[in-house]
Amino acid sequence: MYTTATGLGQNYLWSCGANMLQQLFKKLLNKTIPEDYLITVCGTTTKGTGHNQLKTGVAAVGKKYGAKFKVEFKNFSDTGKTIDERFKNIGKLLEKSNVAIGFHIGYQGSGAKASGEIFGHYEVIDIIDVKNRKIRALNSLGYKLNECLPETPAMEVI
């Protein structure tokens, strides 16, 4: 298990992707890479960061720090045949010191102006409770953006 260092909440409402990378690199490199640097190398805009932009950012960080990273995007259903197997497999991965897991929560449109466009939010898995099928995320929105949202140290996904 690993936990975010204090103060690594995202800087902007639209920078969850860059913040997710910051959290992941804290585990993998034991370095706090500035979020604004990650925003730049990912090509993040006020509309957010796409998967390919994250890969670009990971490559830039790898080059800068002389590290090699493998980036894989998988659907939850790709991690096992049953829900129990999926949680178990993710738990095994999370135990490894050279693996860090982020996830993208996708949702379609919102409110009265739902456009059908897919939006989302990136987070980092902090703890997984295999038995009770719960994942705790670090909740990047909870620390620095509490003027916009109530502070919560972590969120649970069921």
Residue 49: CATH number of its domain: 3.90.70.10
Which residue range forms the structural domain that includes residue 82?
16-157
Q: Is residue 79 part of a domain?
A: yes
Would you say residue 10 lies in a domain? no
Is residue 80 situated within a structural domain? Answer: yes
Tens digit of each residue's pLDDT, the chain (158 residues): 344 444 677 888 889 999 999 999 998 999 999 999 999 999 999 989 999 999 999 999 999 999 999 999 998 899 999 999 999 999 999 889 899 999 888 766 554 455 666 678 898 888 888 889 888 887 666 555 444 343 434 444 43
Phi-psi region of 48 (alpha: psi -120 to 50; beta: other; left: phi over 0): left
User: DSSP assignment of the chain, as one string?
Assistant: ---PPTT-S-SSTT-HHHHHHHHHHHHHHS----HHHHHHHHT-BTTB--HHHHHHHHHHHHHHHT---------GGGG-SSHHHHHHHHHHHHHSTT---EEEEEEE--GGG--S-EEEEEEEEEEEETTTTEEEE--TTSSTTTTTS---S-EEE-
Rounded to two decimals, what is the model's pTM? 0.80
Our count of domains for the chain comes to: 1
